[in-house]
Amino acid sequence: MLHFLNIFIFLLGLCAGSFLNCVIYRLETGKDFCGGRSYCPQCKKQLGFFDLIPVLSFLFLKGKCRYCSQKISLQYPLVEISTALIFLLIFNFQFLISKQFSIFIFLNLIYYWLISCFLIIIFVYDLKHYLIPTKIIYLATIISLIFNFQFLISKQFSIFNSAIVSAANVGLFFWLIVLFSKEQWLGLGDAKLGLLMSLFLGFPKIILALFSAFLIGAIIGLILILLGKKQLKSQVPFGPFLIVGTFLALFWGKEIIEWYLNHLVIF
Ligand SMILES: [Zn+2]
């Protein structure tokens, strides 16, 4: 039964990823890609059902449009597969662990899936355009705030405080860096993303997410400089690192923090 459920969720994730690609395309061009029939971004030819199956179409067509033979971006299958894997991880880490099924836990699952979708869009968009789309980050922040308010209503004050207090602190911390560096080290978009991450993760996971983001960012930055792909002064978008940190903390945060605290006690 669980296998079928996992397969179903993987397929659902692939379709969600396919939709996210549409949303990204729309953000980039302002053109409606999702409503009505989908078409090839290059030759504008309308695509049939068999051109639109996530991942499989890409493999079957060997990454080229059936009509104009132009290359289809690797972004399409990569976003589809990543979304499917993240959907599966959230289901298995957040949902199955609780072992009880209620409407509340189901809504919880939908919330985590939804915010992850927003994060995937921001990841791709920032990586390509060095810009965090304002509409997406505001929408996600509002949904996350509403979700956190239920803890206030159900009197789970510690969860509510953890999210709100860390959001306030991280928001302020990032905003100060933005202000001092005149947006050279961090953009205003990153500060907004930091706030969303805090609402989504709460304390202490947010600390781990930020730490991992800075660490991975520094390592990748160093590798890019050593390979001669970037100079010390070149711009590297920070949003994707923040989002990788968020997913690390979301899925393995508890284990990493416990491991860290155990080793800290020894020394
Ligand atoms: Zn084409």
What percent of the chain clears pLDDT 90, i.e. is strictly above it?
45
Tokens of 57: 């179409």
Q: Is the pLDDT of residue 36 over 60?
A: no
Say if CB 190 and CB 178 are below 8 A apart.
yes
pLDDT at 254: 87
Helices (H), 30-156: 56-60, 75-90, 103-129, 134-153
**CA 66 to centroid of ligand 1, rounded, Å:** 7
Mean pLDDT of the chain: 87
**CA 37 to centroid of ligand 1, rounded, Å:** 14
Give the best-scoring range by mean pLDDT among 6-15, 145-154, 233-242. Answer: 6-15
| Distance of alpha carbon 125 from alpha carbon 239, whole angstroms | 9
pLDDT at 76: 92
Q: Is the pLDDT of residue 234 over 80?
A: no
Which residues make Cβ contacts (< 8 Å) with residue 188, sequence separation at least 6? Answer: 178
pLDDT at 33: 58
> What is the chain's alpha carbon radius of gyration, rounded to the nearest angstrom?
20
Element (H, E) at 8: helix 2-29
**CA 48 to centroid of ligand 1, rounded, Å:** 12
**CA 44 to centroid of ligand 1, rounded, Å:** 6
DSSP class of 23 = H
**CA 205 to centroid of ligand 1, rounded, Å:** 44
| Distance of alpha carbon 106 from alpha carbon 167, whole angstroms | 25
How many C-beta atoms lie closer than 10 Å to residue 100's C-beta?
6
In angstroms, the Cα distances linking 150 to 145, 146, 193, 216, 250 are: 9, 7, 22, 34, 20
**CA 191 to centroid of ligand 1, rounded, Å:** 38
**CA 52 to centroid of ligand 1, rounded, Å:** 13
Q: Is the pLDDT of residue 145 over 70?
A: yes
**CA 127 to centroid of ligand 1, rounded, Å:** 24
pLDDT at 72: 87
* Range name among 20-24, 112-116, 132-136, 182-186 with the lowest pLDDT average: 182-186
**CA 46 to centroid of ligand 1, rounded, Å:** 9
Q: Is the pLDDT of residue 39 over 90?
A: no
- Specify the amino acid at residue 28: E
**CA 72 to centroid of ligand 1, rounded, Å:** 8
**CA 240 to centroid of ligand 1, rounded, Å:** 29
pLDDT at 99: 67
| Distance of alpha carbon 174 from alpha carbon 30, whole angstroms | 30
> Which of the four pLDDT bands, split at 50, 70 and 90, describes residue 248?
very high
